[in-house]
Amino acid sequence: MAEIIQRDGTWTFDGETLRLVPGRDKGVSVLRKALGELTVPLRALAGVSFEQGRKSGRLRLRLRDGADPLLQATGGKLTEGTDPYQLTVESDRYGVAEYFVDEVRNALLLEQVPSSACTAYVLSGPSVPLSVSAGDGTASFDGEHIRLEWNWKTEDAKASAGTRLLALADITAVEWQPALGLENGCLRFVVRSSPTKAPPKYDPNSIELWGFKKDPLMALVAAAVQARLPHPGAGPAPKELTAQAPPAPAPEPAPAAAAPEDDHDALLRRLRELGELHGAGILTDEEFAAAKQAVLKRL
């Protein structure tokens, strides 16, 4: 068991699953607070790192491409403060952060988790129904339909069309863009029957975002819709099924064959025992490093 508790949040790893709980500090973003506790299976990870700074450091989880609909929908545009897979670490906890990284990396190695892209989402995405108000409107999603309602700040040309009700079956893609500098952001739905390149200000299938505090919450709607669209890594449907319901996402490829079960389990138990002895102060840092390296060489 590895755990790091900070004002920014608490991360716990039990050897199989990471639990990420956002902190209650006022500096924690509204998006992370809205997401709440995240449970991330080890098989969703591609790596983990820790970067030290003069006053604080940062733990980062790197998920496999296609593992999380939130990251798929936001396309790497989440800032450090809103990214739920980053944790600010105070300087007096650098040792704990490094130990946390070692534990996760050892588990990835022992379980032989591939770093390749996923062909199905490992995380389920935000639950529905949900509704978010930001920018020039409100986006609501019940799992089957997206409802776009406008407010007094909406451009007249767009508001005149009235409330929009989009069926999930008609959506081919969802795009989320944060506001950057003088350029506004948006939550845009690409509709099969009416594609458009109009700016979000005039697009009736988009909500324009201006960079206010609640704007990142629109990423929740984007992720919930993304989780219910065909996975980008699943491949095209067979021709004989094109007139039927979309096929279920292909299962993830099985990990490479492991070592014999008894030897694998023994090595895993030994690494965990070493970690517990080190955590209890029975092994010094040097003894722990040497013993761990000896075990890893046997893989």
Determine contact, residues 30/217, Cβ cutoff 8 Å: yes
Determine contact, residues 143/128, Cβ cutoff 8 Å: yes
Q: How high is the pLDDT of residue 252?
A: 52
100 DSSP assignment: H
Dihedral of the alpha carbons of 284, 285, 288, 291, in degrees to the nearest 10? -100
pLDDT at 246 over 60: no
- What is the C-alpha to C-alpha distance for residues 295 and 106, in angstroms, rounded to an integer? 11
Q: b or e along 198-212 (b: 16 or more beta carbons within 10 Å of the residue's beta carbon)? A: eebeebbbbbbbeee
Helix (H, G, I), strand (E, B) or coil at 144: coil
Segment 157-192, tens digit of pLDDT: 899 989 999 999 999 999 999 998 888 999 999 999
Both tokens of 206, joined, read: 């988009």
Residue type, 159: A
Both tokens of 114, joined, read: 């591939």
Nearest to 185 by CA among 160, 226, 153, 218: 218
- What is the C-alpha to C-alpha distance for residues 285 and 289, in angstroms, rounded to an integer? 6
Segment 42-66, tens digit of pLDDT: 999 999 999 999 899 999 999 999 9
Terminal Cα-to-Cα distance of the chain (whole angstroms): 22
Looking at the chain, the number of H-run helices and the number of E-run strands are 7, 14
Segment 195-238, tens digit of pLDDT: 778 899 999 999 999 999 999 999 999 999 999 999 998 766 55
